[in-house]
Amino acid sequence: MSIKPSLSRFLAGMGRAALDAILPPRCLSCAGTVDRQGTLCLSCWSGLTFISPPHCACCGEPFDITLAVDAADTLLCATCIGQPPAYGRARSVLTYDDGCRGMILGFKHADQTYAASAFGAWLARAGAELLVPETILAPVPLHRWKLFARRYNQAALLAHAVGRHAGLAVFPSLLVRHRRTTPQGGHSRTGRRRNVRGAFHVRPRLVERVRGKPVVLIDDVLTTGATVSECARVLLRAGASRVDVLTLARVPNGGIWRN
């Protein structure tokens, strides 16, 4: 027997109320009390720097709003002009700064995986232009030993959340990080590229699923783009029609803009 939509909504609401009674809703950032699960308190929300146009048409680096022009959607930052990335477009929800750092590190390293659903909704909105029909979502993978130590891949949790919101297929094991790399934080821009060169491959049994399809790589933070560019290269070699990138946050590259 099927359940009427109104009854289904009522039961879902009762379930949420029961959960809230047992586990009061907490802010995703400071853990303070909020009205609903998966939300932020007003103070933490106002501290976030959401990215919106105008921004680099390629990497998504925000431009100073005073520099907006009619052709802003075709402008490139100096970094993308000087060294175009392997991916097509990158979009991010937030600028990585003090306002979001603790929230993202808690999700990444402190088992705060309950935030994935809310982050997935933010990502789906920020990356709407990338999430076209037939798109495959793939997380940037962890090396198996790092995955064993951390117990979960935060990028895979985000990919599944985006997939649910956008109605797209997720291939969590599409890419394999077969070589263990040193942490990117200790390297220069050139060193980062060298560090991840040859570190990834497409899982052989999934190569046919990639051929001719657009792929969107999902990760938590975009820094120089070295890792996602290397992932994009191997996906394009495997036959992907294009590769774009969607991340929760991005570190400003400080590059000047020009058209």
> Residue 90: beta bridge partners?
245
> Residue 138: beta bridge partners?
217
pLDDT digits (tens, 9 = 90+) for 49-68: 999 988 999 999 998 765 55
CA atoms within 13 A on the CB side of 40: 15
Distances (CA, A) of 139 to 32, 33, 219, 247: 30, 31, 6, 10
Across all residues in the chain, what is the average pLDDT?
A: 85
CA 32 to CA 70: how far, in whole Å?
42
pTM: 0.84
DSSP E strand stretches across 14-129: 76-77, 90-95
- pLDDT > 70? residue 254: no
What are the b/e assignments for 93-106, b being 16+ CB within 10 Å?
A: bbbbeebbeebbeb
Q: What is the pLDDT of residue 209?
A: 93
pLDDT digits (tens, 9 = 90+) for 22-32: 578 889 999 89
pLDDT digits (tens, 9 = 90+) for 135-181: 999 999 998 888 888 889 999 999 999 999 999 999 999 999 987 77
- pLDDT > 50? residue 238: yes
> Residue 92: beta bridge partners?
247
